[in-house]
C-alpha cells in the first residue's frame, strides 16, 4: 500500500468513525428525552467505545479496496487512450484533446504524418522491424513537437497504421511551416537501427490550419489530403492544405521505407 493510499484511508476511517460516534450519542440523547432510559453514563460510554472499536475494523479494508478500484479505473481509462505499440496517445486521445482545444479561439494547426513506403519495410525486413520503425518514428515526432517554441498545446498521437497526427496551438503559419519541414528533415537524416541494419525512413507531412467554423475532423481531413498530395509529388516532403508551394522538397532518396 502506498503512503498516499494509507493516509487517504486513515482520513476516511477517522471521518466515518467520528460520524458514527456522534450519531450514536445523538441517538442515546433522544432515547433519554423520550423514554425512561436508565444508566445514561454507561450508555454514552458504550455509544462512544463501540464505534471507536468496530468502525475502523470494518471500514478500513473497504476504503482501501475502494481506493484501489479507483486507481484501477483510472489506469484502465488511461490505457484506452494509449497506443500499445508506440506508447503514444491514440486516435481517441487525439480527438478528445482536439475537441477541447477547438473550443478556444486560439490558432490551431493539425498535421498528418505518414511513413513513406511502410509496406515495403514490413515486406523486406519483417513486421518486428516494422514495429521498431513505428516506435522510432513516433518517438522522433513526439520529441520534435515537444521542443516546439512559442506554442500552447503540443500533442502528437498515432492514429492508425503508419499514420501520426500532430496538434499545435498558437503557431503562426511560418512557424508551422518550419515545424513541418523540420519533421521531414529530421526523420530523413535519422535512420532506424534494427537487426544490425540501418534503415532509411522518410515521411510525408500534410498541414492544415483551423478556421473559425472548422471541427477537428474537418481540419484533420484537410491535413490528410495535403499529406496525400505530398506523396503524389514524390514523398519525403510536406504540403499545406491551402495549396501553398513550400519550395523544394527534401532531397529525394532511394529508401527501403
Query: Which residues are part of the catalytic machinery?
Result: 162
What nine digits make up the cell of 50?
A: 463501540
Closest CA to 193 of 137, 249, 150: 137
Radius of gyration of the chain (CA): 30
Burial class of residue 29 in the structure, from the number of CB atoms within 10 Å of its CB (0-12 exposed, 13-18 middle, 19+ buried): middle
Residue burial 30-63, b: 16+ Cβ < 10 Å; e: rest:
eeeeeeeeeeeeebeeebbeebeeebbeebbeeb
How many angstroms separate the CA atoms of 8 and 225, rounded? 51
* Cβ-based neighbours of 163, under 8 Å, separated by 6 or more: 112, 113, 114
Torsion angle in degrees (nearest 10) through CA of 181, 184, 186, 187: 170
DSSP 41-54: HHHHHHHHHHHHHH
Grid cell at residue 91: 486516435
Helix (H) or strand (E) holding 34: helix 3-34
Amino acid at each position: 500500500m502506498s503512503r498516499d493510499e494509507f493516509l487517504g484511508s486513515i482520513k476516511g476511517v477517522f471521518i466515518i468513525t467520528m460520524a458514527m460516534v456522534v450519531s450514536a450519542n445523538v441517538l442515546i440523547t433522544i432515547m433519554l428525552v423520550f423514554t425512561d432510559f436508565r444508566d445514561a453514563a454507561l450508555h454514552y460510554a458504550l455509544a462512544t467505545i463501540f464505534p471507536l472499536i468496530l468502525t475502523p475494523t470494518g471500514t478500513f479494508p473497504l476504503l482501501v479496496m475502494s481506493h484501489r478500484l479507483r486507481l484501477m479505473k483510472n489506469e484502465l481509462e488511461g490505457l484506452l487512450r494509449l497506443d500499445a505499440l508506440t506508447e503514444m496517445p491514440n486516435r481517441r486521445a487525439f480527438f478528445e484533446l482536439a475537441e477541447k482545444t477547438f473550443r478556444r479561439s486560439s490558432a490551431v494547426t493539425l498535421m498528418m504524418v505518414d511513413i513513406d513506403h511502410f509496406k515495403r519495410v514490413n515486406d523486406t525486413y519483417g513486421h518486428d522491424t516494422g514495429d521498431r520503425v513505428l516506435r522510432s518514428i513516433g518517438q522522433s515526432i513526439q520529441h520534435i513537437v515537444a521542443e516546439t517554441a512559442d506554442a500552447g498545446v503540443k500533442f502528437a498521437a498515432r492514429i492508425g497504421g503508419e499514420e501520426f497526427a500532430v496538434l499545435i496551438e498558437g503557431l503562426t503559419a511560418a512557424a508551422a511551416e518550419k515545424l513541418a519541414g523540420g519533421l521531414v528533415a529530421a526523420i530523413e537524416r535519422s535512420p532506424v537501427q534494427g537487426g544490425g541494419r540501418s534503415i532509411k525512413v522518410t515521411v510525408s507531412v500534410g498541414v492544415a490550419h483551423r478556421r473559425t467554423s472548422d471541427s477537428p475532423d474537418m481540419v484533420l481531413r484537410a491535413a490528410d489530403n495535403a499529406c496525400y498530395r505530398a506523396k503524389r509529388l514524390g514523398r519525403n516532403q510536406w504540403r499545406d492544405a491551402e495549396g501553398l508551394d513550400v519550395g523544394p522538397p527534401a532531397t529525394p532518396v532511394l529508401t527501403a521505407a
